[in-house]
Chain A
C-alpha cells in the first residue's frame, strides 16, 4: 500500500498555531481506512524551519508527499514543494485545497515540482490517486478532479469531481496524528468570549459544507457547489466561481447524531472542554433543515452529557467547567431568538457575525442579504440570549465612502463595538477576484504571483478594490476610525473632494454601479 507523507504548511506566522488542519486530518483518516501507510508532519504546528522539513522528507521512501491549504499558505507551500522535489525526487507530489482549486493552472505553473493537483473536494480523489500509485499505472486524467501534466508539459484537467452525498460516511479526523498536547492544546484560548478565553483543551469540527449566501468576498473552496467547469475561447477548461448573475450552491451537512457523537468522541478521548465549529454559516444549515438541525444538535448535547457544569472562584466568576462549550458562525437575517436561546442553554459561548458594515448603501452591494437594521436586531437577540456576538467589520468596499465610514463609527459608539476592521480583499475564488482581476494585476505590475504572496488574513492591506480610496488612504482612515477622530476625517474629506474635483454639496464618491470591477484602472 502507498506510503504517504502529509505536510501541513505554515499559515498566519504572526500568531501561534491554533487550528488542527481539518481537511488533512480527514484525508489522513481516509487514507488509513483504505490501508495506506500514513505519516503527518505538521509544519505549521512545529515551525522549525528548513532543516527539520528536509529531515522529515529524508525519513522514509515516500510514495506520495501530499499537502494543501488555503491561499495564504502559498509562501510556505512553495518552500515545501521545492524541498520535497530535492529530497524525494521519485515521490509523487500532490497539492490540493483552496489554494490549488481557485487557480489550478497558475499554481501548477508557479510550482513545477507538483505532479498532480486536486481540484475541489479530495475525499474521493485522493484515495483514487493512492490506488493508482499502488497499481503502478498512473493516468491522472482518469481520476476526476485532477490537474496534471501531459508528456509535453501541457496541463490537463480531468472531468470535474462530484461532491460526495453521504457526509456521515466520513471517518472522524485523525486528530491523534497532530501534536495536540505539545502544541495545539497549549493554544486553546480564543479571545472571543470569557469561556473561549478560559478554554484549555480546544478542538475544531466542521459540521457542514456550504452557505446559501452570495457575499462578493467569499470563496467556498470549490466544495460548496460554488465551482463550475467552463471552457474559454481558446478551448481550455477552467474552474469558474461566483460572478455577477451566476451563483451556484450545494448545501450539505452532517446529521446531528454524527456531529454530537464526534464531539463526544473528542471529549472522551482527548478531554476537550471547547469546540469551535468551523462551518461557514451554521444558520444556513438550520434554515435549510426547516429549523431542526441546530435544535437537535443542542438536544443531543444535553443527552450526551456535554452541557457545561461550572466551578466558580471566590468572586463568583467561572473558574473551570466539565462538559464542552462551543462557538460558531451566525448570520444576521437567518438567526432567531428561539434558536439562540436554545444554543446558549447547550453551552454556546459566542457566534461570529459578518456584520461587515453599518452603511445601508454598502450592505446593498455585497450580496449578504443583510442590512444595518438586521445587523442590529441580531446583535441584541444574541446578547439577550447570553451569547457574545463577534461583530466583524470590513472597510474598503468598492463603494466605501466618507458617509459609510461615519455611519460605522456612529454604530460602533452606540453599540459598544470595539473593532479594528479587516480590509476588503479580493481572494482568488471570490466574485471580487473574478471582477477585479485586471485591476489587481495592474496594482502588482502584472505579476499575479506577487499578489498571492502578499495575501494575508485581510488585517493588512493588499490589492485595493475601493473606487474612492487607495491603500494609503484606507490605512489612514482606519487609524482615524479607531481613534474616533471625526474632526480629521471631516478635514480630509474636503481635501479629497478638491483633489477629485467634486463640487461642494455633491455626493463625495466616485463610485457608480457601472464601474463595478474597475477600481484603480
Chain B
C-alpha cells in the first residue's frame, strides 16, 4: 500500500493505493491505441453506444 499524500504531518485519514490492476481488455486497448493506424484498429468495447435493436 502506498500513501498518495506526502507532507510534514500525519493527516487525520490516510489515503492508500492498491497497486493499479488493469484488466486484459484495458491493457489490450491501451496498447492498440498506441500503435493505431493502418491495419491496427479496434473496438473500444466500453464505448459502444449503438443499441443492437436500433
Contact = CB atoms under 8 A, between A and B. Distances in A.
B12 interface: yes
Interface in A29-48: 32, 37-42, 46, 48
A55 interface: yes
A420 interface: no
A431 B12 CA distance: 47
A472 interface: no
A52 interface: yes
A59 interface: yes
B17 A59 contact: no
A504 to B, nearest CB: 38
A152 interface: no
B38 interface: no
Contacts, number: 52
Contacts of A48: 4, 17, 20
B6 A39 contact: yes
B39 interface: no
A179 B6 contact: yes
Contact of B13 (A42, A59, A182): A59
A182 B17 CA distance: 11
A39 B17 contact: no
B6 A52 contact: no
Interface string A55-69: 110111100000000
A32 B8 contact: yes
B24 interface: no
A52 B13 CA distance: 13
B50 interface: no
| B interface, over-half SS | loop
B8 A41 contact: no
B15 interface: yes
A177 interface: yes
B4 A56 contact: yes
Interface string A160-181: 0000000000000000111100
Contact of A37 (B2, B7, B14, B15): B7
B6 A59 contact: no
Given A41-B4, A60-B13, 17 more contacts: A3-B9, A32-B8, A37-B8, A38-B8, A38-B9, A39-B5, A40-B5, A52-B4, A55-B15, A56-B4, A56-B5, A59-B13, A59-B14, A176-B6, A177-B6, A179-B2, A179-B6
Interface of B: 2, 4-9, 11-15, 17, 20
Interface of A: 3, 32, 37-42, 46, 48, 52, 55-56, 58-61, 176-179, 182
10 contacts: A37-B7, A38-B8, A38-B9, A39-B9, A48-B17, A52-B15, A52-B17, A56-B4, A59-B13, A179-B6
